Structure 1
Amino acid sequence: MRKPLLLAGVTAAAIAVTAIVSLAGTPARADANSAKASLAKSLAALKIGNASAARSNAMDAVKADSGWGLAHAVLARAYLGLGDGIAAEAELDRAKAAGFDAGRAHQLYAHAWLLQGDPARAIVEAGKAPPKFAGYAVRVGARALAAQGDLPGAQKALATVLAAAPNDSAAWSDLGRVRYDTGDMAGAIQAASKAIALDPANLEALTLRGELVRGQYGLLAALPWFEAALKKDYYYHPALIEYAGTLGDAGRYADMLDATRRALATRPDSAQAFYLQAVLAARSGNYDLARTLTQRTTGKLDGLPGALLLDGMLDYQAASYEQAINKWRELVGRQPMNVTARRLLGAALLRSGDAQGALDVLRPVALRGDADSYTLALVGRAFERTGERNWANQFLDRAAFPAGGSSAPFGVDDDVAVLGGLAKDDPADPVRRVAYLRGLVEAGDTGQALAQAQALARLSPGAPAAHLAVGDTFAALGRYADAASAYRRAADIRFDEPVMLRLIDALDRSGQRAEAANVLALFLSQNPQNIAGQRLAARWQIAGGDFDAAIETLEGLRIRVGNRDATLLSDLAFAYIGADDEDTGLSYAKAAYRIAPLNPAVTDAYGWALYQTGDDKGAAQLLEKAVAIAPQHATLRWHLGQVYADLGRGGEAKAQIGAAMSDPGFADRAAAAAVLKTLG
């Protein structure tokens, strides 16, 4: 759920237009024609959604006649349109002091207080608005309810507005935002599109549509929507913030910096702009600058997930481990399914000496079928420190194996009855419902799990998580084609990394490799900086013999993630060897092996590199080690079989190659059969 602070720009510009005519009708006391002309320009700018120009012209009107209450009121409306509740309240106070009718300002004050993060006060004040401004007041009240977490109440309030005024663009964009916060992405898309159709100058709707498109189609597809809003108001702060963040995720850092500077030009104390600049500084390794910039947010973003993650990383980098732990613990509490946050918190707890705390945090991630080696190694080390050697060995052994599971969100280790009770206590909580479904799957009750998942999808057809639950259950049943269909429905609503990974895995496992490749290409076309997508693309490039492309992809990744990723280095070894650069391949393989000598994939890469450079005996030793660690891995046996064949150990070669071919998923079947034929 988006936090109240980020609601600051949710519907400000669209609301700003609503009461303009009424305000304009207030008796004016302007003494100068210039003040009247400036105010007319301000009102015109508000009508076309340009709150920045409206503010500038209203300020000119106030300067020309500082005693004109209406000018101060219109300036307040412009500030509301820009999401600046503090400045708006100050202008409303000046308007009242200059004679503006206080009875006409209740909804304006309510809006200002909402933007300042005081939804309770906003609700009370909105209730005082006269019937003439009821629509505006109810919308502010609905947004305040949403800020308090009462999303059903907010939707109900907005439904009353739309029942009376079905063509109210601002109400539709408010409804879109509330639906977005409830996870109803399809409903949010419908509402935002309706708002734009009714009023193309609704900048809040354009910005919301950009956010939705970013999730639905990708980063690059979202940029034109933010740009459309900024064409109408070059300094519209909410769009600038979303635009800057999207540019940064797409790797366009110079453009990101420019957008944050524009945001600071219109709002010099913009905490969001300083935060984004801090993220940019941290990404470039300038941690001192990042800390300075986070301090300039003056605590306004404290508690928000992104800020907690960044602040914790800066604390950890500065060896302030307890501070990092406190921030990441709060983040995990807010986002219990955030794998990155759990991994970071677990590592920090282990480093601080709290091995049991690390186990508690990391257990849901380590129970995943595709748990990464780093997390598994952390769990293994934590068990070592608690004296549980058997458990430690199990997880350390898993850490050395190539991941073989699918990308399900979490494993579970709670009793199904407990999970079911939690879900019944709060049936509207999708996290509890999904946890219960996974508990049913783990307990082997897949039939009940599937029925529950499908019921959840029928109840919330616009929520991607519901369709993911159906797909995950089908995947647990081995029905990958059905899983792919469910994941497609989720992807039609929100095409992010978890959905992409699941969909590709299900398509690949159901024999639809070409379609899986198309999905990956589409995702990377919109999210070119996504690390998981690039890793997968590189491996497919290697498998397809496109080694030069794989090298380009992997070297780009290495620049970003560094030289301590053993899997990445071993992939580079295979790519360079495939491109006939055995020496470079061998150097990468050695580097990977130094980092992870017990990882069978890394050991295999080193052995294969030695084989390609003519060291058959050294290759045999390493490949034997790899097979001993992961005897079920067909590719490792295939590599060892080829080395044995060249060493003249025909019987052993046949045994290894035969074992590889017994795996239905073994891809090099034709080449293996040809080698077996030469062995007689």
Structure 2
Amino acid sequence: MRRVLVFGLCLGAFAVAILAFRSVIADRPDPAAAREALARSEAYLKANNASAARSQAFGAVRADPAWGEAHLALARANLMLDEGIAAEAAIRRAIDSGVAPARTHALMAHAILLQGDPRRALIESRKAPQADRLYALRVQTRAYTAGGNLAAAQEAAMAAVRLAPASADAWTELGRFRLNAGDIVGAIEASAKAVDLDKGNTDALVLRAELVRTQYGLVAALPWFERALQRDPYRHATLIQYAATLGDAGRTREMLALTRRAMEVRPRSPQALYIQAVLAARAQKFGLARQLLQRAGGGVGQLPGGLLLGGALDLEEGAYARAIEKLRGLVSLQPMNIGARKLLATALLRSDASKNGIDVLRPVVERGDADSYALSLVARGYERIGERAEAARYFDRAALPVRDNAGWFSSDDSLPVLAAAAARGPRDDPRATLPLLRGLVEDGRGQEALSRAQDIARRNPGAPASASLVGDILMLLKRPGEAVAWYKTSAGIRFNEPAMLRLVEALDRSGQRQEASRTLALFLSQNPLNLAALRLSAHWQAAAGEFDAAIDSLEAIRLRTGNRDVALLAELAFAYAGAGEPERAARYAEAAYIIAPTNPAVAGAMGWALTQGGDHVGGIELLRKAVTLAPRHPMLRWQLAQAYADAGRSAEAVAETRAALETPGFTDKGAAEALLAKLAKLA
């Protein structure tokens, strides 16, 4: 046994020695393999596939860890993937391995900039030799932009284009700068030039995708993101942008698949987790949404989107103090964010800070087009602090189905105060200038306001907000036909929701309803889940008698917003009644009536649904209530007239029809006159 044991131990020792020898042999540098891997890495970089280039550069480093060129290739790939820390580490290893420091200054400047230090990046970029001047200028463009020195950034970007007019990278950098500076037209031109110079440049394709999304819409941008991912299927930034665009376009399954691929590239990717959290919240899986948002980390949570989502989730859980903290921060960052203001006011009212909630919503409810939810919140706030008269005024406004045209945040300040505020803000900034121009219009100095707005637009032809500013002043001056051209200019540069709503309103008010409908349809084809567009489309579809189409639009909204929007429920009741489904119409109308029995639109919907189902007595009673509550609403009077006619009460039908015809805004004149003629024959 001892002999067997000794023999076994000898065999084991021999095996260990063999394994150790093989390990030593395996760890020896393999320069040939390193050169082959480096060549593949450089080929992938030229093909704009930074992910594959990094993988091959890793292979070169493993094959020959002491070879500086391999580390330098790894640094370049990391920089293309926006990995600043990893790039700096690779650069330092390259220098330690014998690479001349002069060759690394531009690369190091880029790595430092990616880590959030533009001042140090500028210092490092100025050390770059002439051979790397183009790269250094591109880094300087980004660094100056990050530091707020837009004049120096523009100079650096233009110098890069002059130095290398055939460089797609230089034109892409110029386009990115112009986009950040608000010159959308200039950015579009530069991005198009970059793609023309190099149709496979991933950065140029991504920039082009972003600008197409801005100019035309979500759906139009998707092919550009797909082209970029064909070049580099695992570039994290592109995956995130594409996933977000898919989600906004309603293609949630594809979006989820993209976020999972992004997390293969970067495990625990904050951006991917945030997108998944938004998807969970939309599906009302609030617990899952909170878990995902927490996993995304504090960085994402402090961005505007993270603050809004986090505040909404806190509000859902009843954690009002946390919701107030987040939403107050968001409103300070985005004062014009009406959705954030309504959420913050809701949290304040639920935490017994009613006066603060009223103050938050005051700029919103001073608008003529304030929605019923905001008005009801303010009314409840006044009710809780004992001001019944003010509460009743806002409850009355919330109950009215008629809304004035869209306005702007109002200001009680005098013209000198508004002028001083505009002077303190950035030059030509429409957000700072509009209150002053509005004040001039209200003071009877409309032509002066228009001249100032047109002067700003002339100085900033590439900024869509400048063209919108002129359109806004023309709308205030009640010249919608002239505003159309300015709004078209703005929408041709940036076709987002505000641009669409402005253009559609101006077209409609200037008698161009068909063109307004085409504009709305075009926007919806690119943004199929946009709630404002869906609601406006449903309203027009119902008015045109296209009830099935209106139902589809309204049901899509209800699936997103729930069953507590009384105006939406009333519109659904009207649409189902028009589509010949009175029982379903009655169910929606009843649900709305339980929530808001004093709302005239809801009472009218309930009455109309009952009359369409054959209950003329009950329907007429509710329609009369609606007309009493909102006597200047022509559609309610017209519905009451038709209900009277169907019930054989001709005299009352004639009276209400004539009242509807005399009410401003009535659009069914042909049908009303035909009903009068029919009733006259019967008499």
Query: Given the two structures, how large is their TM-score scaled by the length of structure 1?
Result: 0.92
**Cross-structure match for 1:667:** 667
CA–CA distance in 2 between the matches of 1:405 and 1:153? 45
Find out whether 1:116 has 2:115 as its counterpart.
yes
Change (3 A) 1:357 1:533: same
Which consecutive unaligned segments of at least 5 residues does structure 1 have?
A: 1-28
Equivalent residue of 2:580, what SS?
coil
Change (3 A) 1:156 1:389: farther
Compute the displacement of 1:389 (Å): 3.3
Find out whether 1:77 has 2:73 as its counterpart.
no
CA–CA distance in 1 between the matches of 2:117 and 2:316? 35
**Cross-structure match for 1:162:** 161
CA–CA distance in 1 between the matches of 2:660 and 2:123? 72
Larger Rg: 2
| Deviation string, structure 1 residues 111-145 (Cα, Å, up to 9, x no partner) | 11221222233223223323332221222122122
Percent same amino acid among aligned pairs?
A: 54
Of 368-377 and 97-106, more deviation after overlay is shown by 97-106
AA at the equivalent of 2:265: T
**Cross-structure match for 1:490:** 490
CA–CA distance in 2 between the matches of 1:622 and 1:318? 38
Change (3 A) 1:149 1:391: farther
Find out whether 1:94 has 2:93 as its counterpart.
yes
CA–CA distance in 2 between the matches of 1:48 and 1:202? 8
**Cross-structure match for 1:415:** 414
CA–CA distance in 2 between the matches of 1:409 and 1:204? 38
Compute the displacement of 1:407 (Å): 2.9
**Cross-structure match for 2:283:** 284
| Deviation string, structure 1 residues 373-428 (Cα, Å, up to 9, x no partner) | 11111122223334433333222211111242223343333333222111112342
Change (3 A) 1:443 1:366: farther
1:372–1:403: 8 Å Cα contact kept in structure 2? no
Equivalent residue of 1:128, what SS?
coil
1:434–1:469: 8 Å Cα contact kept in structure 2? yes
Compute the displacement of 1:312 (Å): 1.5
AA at the equivalent of 1:513: R
| Deviation string, structure 1 residues 84-107 (Cα, Å, up to 9, x no partner) | 112111211221222222222222
Compute the displacement of 1:63 (Å): 0.7
2:430–2:469: 8 Å Cα contact kept in structure 1? no
Equivalent residue of 2:299, what SS?
coil
**Cross-structure match for 2:394:** 395
Q: CA RMSD in A?
A: 2.0
1:315–1:324: 8 Å Cα contact kept in structure 2? yes
Of 126-135 and 201-210, more deviation after overlay is shown by 126-135
**Cross-structure match for 1:560:** 560
**Cross-structure match for 1:614:** 614
1:412–1:442: 8 Å Cα contact kept in structure 2? no
AA at the equivalent of 1:663: T
CA–CA distance in 2 between the matches of 1:269 and 1:296? 7
1:30–1:68: 8 Å Cα contact kept in structure 2? no
Find out whether 1:309 has 2:336 as its counterpart.
no
Of 90-99 and 65-74, more deviation after overlay is shown by 90-99
**Cross-structure match for 2:16:** none
2:364–2:370: 8 Å Cα contact kept in structure 1? yes
| Deviation string, structure 1 residues 538-592 (Cα, Å, up to 9, x no partner) | 2222222222222222222222221111111111111111121111111111111
| Deviation string, structure 1 residues 411-449 (Cα, Å, up to 9, x no partner) | 333333222111112342331012322333344432222
Matches within 5 A, 1:579-590: 579-590=579-590
Change (3 A) 1:653 1:399: same
**Cross-structure match for 2:477:** 477
CA–CA distance in 2 between the matches of 1:85 and 1:59? 16
Find out whether 1:230 has 2:229 as its counterpart.
yes
Equivalent residue of 1:105, what SS?
helix
Change (3 A) 1:183 1:388: farther
CA–CA distance in 1 between the matches of 2:432 and 2:355? 24
Equivalent residue of 2:539, what SS?
helix
2:311–2:324: 8 Å Cα contact kept in structure 1? yes
CA–CA distance in 1 between the matches of 2:385 and 2:458? 45
Equivalent residue of 1:301, what SS?
helix
CA–CA distance in 1 between the matches of 2:414 and 2:302? 31
1:337–1:409: 8 Å Cα contact kept in structure 2? no
**Cross-structure match for 2:532:** 532
Compute the displacement of 1:342 (Å): 1.5
Find out whether 1:507 has 2:513 as its counterpart.
no
1:366–1:411: 8 Å Cα contact kept in structure 2? no
1:407–1:498: 8 Å Cα contact kept in structure 2? no
CA–CA distance in 1 between the matches of 2:207 and 2:261? 20
Equivalent residue of 2:551, what SS?
helix
| Deviation string, structure 1 residues 175-208 (Cα, Å, up to 9, x no partner) | 2222212222111111111221222232122111
Count of residue correspondences: 652
CA–CA distance in 2 between the matches of 1:387 and 1:421? 37
1:207–1:238: 8 Å Cα contact kept in structure 2? no
Of 434-443 and 259-268, more deviation after overlay is shown by 434-443
1:406–1:502: 8 Å Cα contact kept in structure 2? no
**Cross-structure match for 1:175:** 174
Matches within 5 A, 1:49-88: 49-88=48-87
Change (3 A) 1:335 1:156: farther
AA at the equivalent of 2:254: D
Matches within 5 A, 1:412-491: 412-428=411-427, 429-491=429-491
Change (3 A) 1:679 1:617: same
2:282–2:560: 8 Å Cα contact kept in structure 1? no
CA–CA distance in 1 between the matches of 2:284 and 2:125? 47
**Cross-structure match for 1:129:** 128
Query: Given the two structures, how large is their TM-score scaled by the length of structure 2?
Result: 0.92
AA at the equivalent of 2:677: K
